[in-house]
Amino acid sequence: MESRNLTNVSEFLLLGLSGEPELQPLIFALFLPMYLITVFGNLLIILATISDSHLHTPMYFFLSNLSFVDICFISTTVPKMLWNIYTQSKVITYEGCIIQMYFFALFVGLDDFLLTVMAYDRFVAISRPLHYTVIMNPQLCEVLVLVSWIISILHSFLQTLMVLRLSFCREVIIPHYFCELKQLVQLACSDNFLNDMVMYFAVVVLGGAPLAGILYSYSRIVSCICGISSAQGKYKAFSTCTSHLSVVSLFYCTCLGVYLSSAATHSSHSSAIASVMYTVVTPMLNPFIYSLRNKDIKTALKTFFRMTAIRRPFILS
């Protein structure tokens, strides 16, 4: 058997969502608007929460952080895919692939932790309404976000160091549209047992713990809502959670769907297509979910656009 030639590769090949040349313009025309909608939609959420003093509360502080992370999340993968389609190239440098993998792991972890923090915020708001402002004070909110960033950065840094120790073959073809951690580990020519152990341990701890926290928070929320006597009170309490519950369901269902479908089909290409749901569709839908289901956000956006329209003629004159 001919030995495989190992070397320090300088570039990888990203196959993208489809290898058919005639489908590339269609993919470009589909993903460019989705990317722009995601960026502008989340920017509007951030601007609304900053400009309206009524939204300077813990709930909207966490929401603005989630919107910022979603912008960074989708910007980690989609622009490179669009650039490759535009230039008709599949190449990504080794350094670019490692950087993309690092930031992807960072922002997907932040998404997970911020959704958990937001679930805890809703639990306190419903179970301890009279003490809500005391418990969820600005210092605690900042600490929760800071801890989420620190854990995500450390986890992403660890996974990156583990990948840097691997050796790759001369030609590395990634059947995906971005450098995913699991695919990189599987494509390595050196022993990846330790990488698999670290990766699965991180999934159980950093993925399972936030999910358990969310489920616990909502079990307590349901218990508190059931204890409310009036139907109007139950509806009002539950309505404060519907937006967050919709985003959580969308994020976790799409993530689980990707990994379950890839495990069932054993196809990297189908996994790449399925991963579009949580890497592109979920960040795009988050602003719509929060703006359409939230009167405060809609009011803040109307005020923001009204003030912008008033200031523009004054500046032009």
Residue 257 covered by a domain: yes
pLDDT above 50: residue 3: no
pLDDT above 70: residue 317: no
> What is the tens place of the pLDDT at every residue in 214-246?
999 999 999 988 888 788 878 877 877 888 888
Residue 315 covered by a domain: no
Cβ atoms 64, 28 nearer than 8 A: no
pLDDT above 50: residue 273: yes
Q: Looking at residue 5, what is its pLDDT?
A: 43
The answer for residues whose C-beta is within 8 angstroms of residue 259's C-beta and 6 or more apart is 271
Q: What is the number of domains present in the chain?
A: 1
Residue 153's nearest CA partner among 92, 109, 185 is 109
> What is the tens place of the pLDDT at every residue in 293-306?
677 787 777 777 77
Calpha distance 221→227 (Å, rounded): 10
Residue 162 covered by a domain: yes
44-49, long-range: CB < 8 A, 24+ apart: 44/287, 44/291, 44/301, 44/304, 45/287, 45/290, 45/291, 45/297, 47/304, 48/297, 48/300, 48/301, 48/304, 49/300
Single pTM value for the model: 0.89
The CATH number that applies at residue 146 is 1.20.1070.10
> What is the tens place of the pLDDT at every residue in 33-43?
999 999 999 99
Q: Which domain holds residue 80?
A: 8-309
Name the pLDDT band for 203 (thresholds 50, 70, 90): confident
Question: Rounded mean pLDDT of 156-166?
Answer: 94
Mean pLDDT of the chain: 86
Rounded to whole angstroms, what are the CA distances from 57 to 62, 134, 284, 296, 301?
A: 9, 12, 24, 12, 16
Residue 2 covered by a domain: no
Residue 55 covered by a domain: yes
> What is the tens place of the pLDDT at every residue in 115-133?
999 999 999 999 888 899 9
Question: Rounded mean pLDDT of 141-156?
Answer: 96
Name the pLDDT band for 16 (thresholds 50, 70, 90): confident
Report helix, strand or coil for 93: strand
Q: Looking at residue 1, what is its pLDDT?
A: 37
- The more confidently predicted of residues 32 and 54 is 32
Residue 78 covered by a domain: yes
Q: Looking at residue 29, what is its pLDDT?
A: 95
Report the alpha-carbon angle 56-73-8, nearest 5. Answer: 145
pLDDT above 60: residue 2: no
Residue 1 covered by a domain: no
